[in-house]
Chain A
Amino acid sequence: MSTNVPDTDTETHADTDAQPAPQQRRLAKKRERREHSPQSETSGDTDQETVELKVFRYDPEVEGKREPRFDDFHVPFTKGMTVLDALIYARDTFDSSLTFRHSCRQAICGSDALFINGAQRLGCQTQLSDLEWPVRIEPLPHQEVVKDLVVDMEHFYEQMDAVDPFFKDEDVPDGLEEQRQDRENREKIKMSTRCIWCGACMSSCNIAAGGNYLGPAAINKAYRFVMDEREDGDVTQERLETIEAEEGVWRCQTQFSCTEVCPKDIPLTEHIQELKREAVKNNLKFW
């Protein structure tokens, strides 16, 4: 089996702390937007501004939609409007058959990962004012389209299940005693526990496309347990075997596309690299 040697350059990223770079970037963008937005000065004339959406349409059952096409929607733009807001407006005003998943509107349910102007993003978290117009909205690439912007998530869920995504220890609390966990250890797993299962990372990954590679989200889930000091050493051993198997961490080619698109700023590539190192260390133990 060919293996890629972990790229030591990436280690320098390991120490970036609580306010990671993507968040900084977003903040800077917001600031800029507010300063330069025409709305911030006057709201009069610009109320008439409309944003053009080019939305992917497909329905296997409906005449005229069996061949994928793009529909144009012209939505009145208001300050602070997100891609999700615009889609809801288009559906409720122009075409009630326009179909997309969404629920919480606040980047926690992970339902509305979409391919927006060529990048995986959450519709609810993406301000229209941050995008080039017209805005092109497509379903996540590399997943089968069910209808319009809805993709089949089954493969994603199967990969999550494949890493035994649960605490394996069987102990029942004895009275009101919790297991102790160092603040440092909690900090170590913190970013990995932020995952909202949106599937953006998986969709952005060339290696995950079409194959059986576990993918960044599932490996990140494994990382969350491997690094948690509360879980037993034998269990950690089992987990390392899973992530080291053929479809595991060694498939990653450190392209950072997953890290780039993660809406929760999880350093996914970094976590994968760290698990590679853990696996190597673990194997050396048996020499």
Chain B
Amino acid sequence: MNKIMSFSMALLAATALAGGTLLYAASRDYISIVGSSTVYPFATVVAEQFGKTTRFKTPKIESTGSGGGLKLFCAGIGVEHPDIANSSRRIKRSEVETCRKNGVKEITEVKVGYDGIVISNAKSAPQMKLTRKDLYLALAKDIPSGQGETLITNPHKTWKDVNPSLPKVKIEVLGPPPTSGTRDAFSELVMEAGCDKYEFIKAMAKTDKDRYKAICMGVREDGAYIEAGENDVLIVKKLEANPDALGIFGFSFLDQNTDKIQGSIIDGAEATFENIADGTYPVSRPLYVYVKKAHVGTIPGIREFISEFTSEKAWGPEGYLIDKGLIPMPDDERKKFSTDAKMLNNLAL
């Protein structure tokens, strides 16, 4: 009988545990942040600094990707929904619409800085001098045939085929999958820019947008472009092992591994901190943080967290975020967004 007793006691305890949680009082005393894996390394540094220097708890940050994060962010108002969303692209009109439908009417947009996308190879190989057109011709699925306004399946095998001034090395590029924000930015900043060099395709952007997108952003599937997953550490390792391959990833990974890999020169500009900051290096994108205004005042510390993020010691030209690889905005832009953050100005698309 003793055993039955202890047995049923255990069961009872288990059900009580499960049941008790249903009555769990709705409260949360820490900030919940979701979103882009590109902003994650920066947001986490701010969160840690914030947790250590203020009386507030350290915010929780989930790396869900920009799209996934904004979806969670827009799901509604209340402690079970996140307070802040990080994004490596601007919020879309459709997402703002979803937000509004779910009661998230007021959002503050804060641009926090820039991130460069680099095309790198191993240091043991010669540095590549590429143009965006070269990259487009090397990676697009279909390219202009060169005679009239016709397209052919990409025939290029080596970089020399693309541009005679490049070495005779097999085209092999490791890059992010289509679900990644880095890939979106690469498609837009490199592939589209490269394909705009052809007038007849550029004209298509106005007449037949879908076809334009398909031509410009369609990436080869014959093995020249290798989807290497979201893990940039892995790409760096693979580049080291294969000096012929190029890799596409965020500037911070190049910055941390300068003894192993080097950034290619794109359109004459080297992928250095200074060149990305002043805009000479063409492949960079803005990073954003979105704040749910309805939660300010309910969840403690949101205002203070944002003011930490937008302080000069964090995002200024000599701030700690810069040490982590963030590219700072120019002075006037920083000023504008720090006032936006302070006043919690509403997002205007």
Query: Do A and B bind?
Result: no
Binding site for A on B (CB under 8 A): none
